[in-house]
Amino acid sequence: MNLFDVYSLYDIEPVRGEGSYVFTADGTRYLDLYGGHAVISIGHAHPRYVKAVSDQVARLGFYSNSVKNGLQETLAEKLGRQSGYDDYALFLCNSGAEANENAMKLASFTTGRSRILAFDRAFHGRTSGAVAVTDNPKIQAPFNATDNVVFAPLGDIEAVKKYLATGEFAGVIIEGIQGVAGIRMVDDEFLRQLREACDATGTLLILDEIQSGYGRTGRFFAHQHAGVRADIVTCAKGIANGFPMGAVLIAPSIEAKKGMLGTTFGGNHLACAAAIAVLDVMADEQLVANAAEVGNYLLERLNDIAGRCDEIVEVRGRGLMIGIEIKGSASDLRKRLLFDKKIFTGGAGEHTVRLLPALGITKEQADVFLENFEQLLKTV
C-alpha cells in the first residue's frame, strides 16, 4: 500500500526535536520557526511534557466519555483561569475542524437559526461544515456546497450589519488573525463593532483561535487585544503541543443538553495530560509574555529590514504570528532558508512567508533567522 499523495513534501525527515530545533537522522540541526503549523507551543520534547505524557500512558491512556475523567476537570479549571474564560464550559474534541463544527452546531441549536456568516479568505478546516465556512473553492467538494453560509468582506461592518439584520444567522465565525490567508489582521475596532452587531441581533460570535490562540500573539487569545469576549471560542494547534486535541469554550448562556455533542476520543486521558502539561509550562515559564516580547522584537527588526529592502512588500502580525509578504516567490525563499540555512518557515499563498515558532523562542534564535533572511533577500 502507498500513501495517498496529497502533500507536497520536502526531502527532509526530522527524527527528534529539542526546544526550537529539530534534527535529522544524520544529526543535522534545523531552527524551527514554524512549529509544525503552530502546533509546537512549548517547544519540542519539553522534559515536563515528556514526563507528563509518559507517566499518564503508563497509568491509563484511554477510556471513554461514559465515565468521569478528573483530568478533564483539571484542564478546564487551568484553561479557564489562564485564558480569562473561567466562567465558560469546556467541550473537548480532537482537532480544530471538529471544534469549529461543534461551535457552529451549538450556535444553531441555541438560536434555532440555520445560517452562518463567515469572511472572505477565511480558513476554518477541512471537514464538511468547516469547509463550508472556508473561502477556498479548491478544497470544497460538491458535497460541501450549502446555501447556509454567506461570506462578508473582512472589516466591512456595514455589510455584516446588513446580513445580521435579517435575523437568519445563528453565528458569525471569525479568526483572531487570518493565518492561511497570509497573517491577515482583524482590526480591533471592527471586532468591537462586530460584537455589538451580534448582541443587537441575537447572533452568537464564534472566535476561531485555533492558530492565533494559546498565547501566540502575546495575549492568551488574539481577540483579547480588542477587549471583547466571544460566545464561543475554538482552540486546537498548540493546545497539546503535538498531541491531537481540540476544544470549544462555551458561554454560560448556552445550555448543555445530554447528547447534543459527542466524541469517542475527545478529552481522553493522554490528551488531557498533554494539555495540562502545556498550560503548566506556559504559566511557569511565562511563555505568553515571551511571545509578546520576542514577537515585538521580530516585528521591529523585520520592519527595519523592510525599510532598506525593496523586496519586502509588508510585514504583518502580532506576537509570534508573523507574515512577511515579498515581491518574489515565498516558496523559493523558504526552500533556500531550509536547504541553505537550515531554517524551517511556513508559507501562506504565493508571496508570504509565515512564522509560527514555539512560544519560548529566544531573541538570539530570532537573530539567526533575521540575519539569514536579510542575507537571502539581497540575492532574490
pLDDT tens digits along 289-326:
999 999 999 999 999 999 999 999 999 999 999 999 99
Distances (CA, A) of 3 to 8, 11, 12: 12, 15, 17
pLDDT of residue 378: 79
From 325, 312, 331, 320, select the one nearest 296 (Cα to Cα).
320
Say yes or no to pLDDT of 145 above 90.
Answer: no
Q: Could you report the per-residue pLDDT of 34-46, keeping only the tens digit for each?
A: 999 999 999 999 9
144: confidence class by pLDDT, cuts 50, 70, 90: confident
Say yes or no to pLDDT of 355 above 90.
Answer: yes
380: confidence class by pLDDT, cuts 50, 70, 90: low
Considering only the C-alpha atoms of the chain, give the largest distance between any 2 of them, rounded to a whole number of Å. Answer: 61
Grid coordinates of 242? 503535538
27 φ/ψ sector (left φ>0, alpha ψ -120 to 50, else beta) = left
Distance CA 93, CA 147 (A): 27
Say yes or no to pLDDT of 210 above 80.
Answer: yes
The structure's pTM equals 0.97
How much is the average pLDDT of 322-348?
Answer: 97
Say yes or no to pLDDT of 147 above 90.
Answer: yes
Distance CA 324, CA 252 (A): 39
Say yes or no to pLDDT of 3 above 70.
Answer: yes
